[in-house]
Amino acid sequence: MAAQLGRGARGAPYGAAAERIRSGRIDGSRGRGEKMPNLVSAWFTKVAGATATAMGSPWAFLTAVTIIAAWAITGPIFGFSDTWQLVINTGTTIVTFLMVFLIQNTQNRDAKAIHLKLDELIRAVEAARNELIDVEEDTDEELDELQQVYRKVHEQAAGEGRPPLPATAPLPRKRKRQTA
Higher pLDDT, 18 or 93: 93
For the cut 90, the answer to whether the pLDDT of residue 167 exceeds it is no
Residues 169 and 149 sit within 8 Å (Cβ to Cβ): yes
pLDDT digits (tens, 9 = 90+) for 114-139: 988 988 888 888 888 888 888 888 88
Distance in angstroms (rounded) separating the CA atoms of residues 57 and 32: 43
pLDDT digits (tens, 9 = 90+) for 51-85: 989 999 999 999 999 999 999 999 999 999 999 99
Enumerate the domain spans of the chain. 1-37, 39-137, 138-168
Distance in angstroms (rounded) separating the CA atoms of residues 126 and 111: 24
The pLDDT of residue 132 = 84
Residues 140 and 165 sit within 8 Å (Cβ to Cβ): no
* Consecutive H or E run containing 170: none
Higher pLDDT, 89 or 153: 89
